[in-house]
């Protein structure tokens, strides 16, 4: 459908609308939605990794700088 709308065909009362004015987007609301989406994706990824680690029979803990170790403290 085109952007030009016409009303009336008798020549004297023609009304033309050439564009539709739109309100600017609510940037705060959009930002909150994006932050919430990123948090949900991060949680889903963390759950996926947790399930992957626990499905192998051993739960592997990762300490920063210490490398991966299992519950007994042995290097994985």
Residue the block writes with tokens 């949900």? 40
What pLDDT is attached to residue 71?
57
CA distance 46 to 48: 5
Taking the domains of the chain in order of start, what are their residue ranges?
Answer: 26-53
Contact 71, 58 (CB under 8 A): yes
**Could you report the per-residue pLDDT of 11-68, keeping only the tens digit for each?**
567 777 788 878 898 999 999 999 999 999 999 999 999 998 888 666 556 666 655 5
């Amino acid at each position: 459908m085109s952007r030009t709308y016409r009303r009336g065909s008798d020549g004297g009362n023609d009304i033309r609308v050439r564009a539709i004015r739109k309100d600017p987007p609510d940037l705060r609301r959009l930002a909150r939605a994006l932050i919430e989406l990123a948090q949900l994706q991060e949680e889903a990824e963390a759950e996926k990794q947790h399930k992957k680690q626990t499905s192998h029979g051993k739960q592997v803990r990762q300490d920063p700088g210490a490398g991966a170790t299992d519950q007994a403290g042995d290097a994985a």
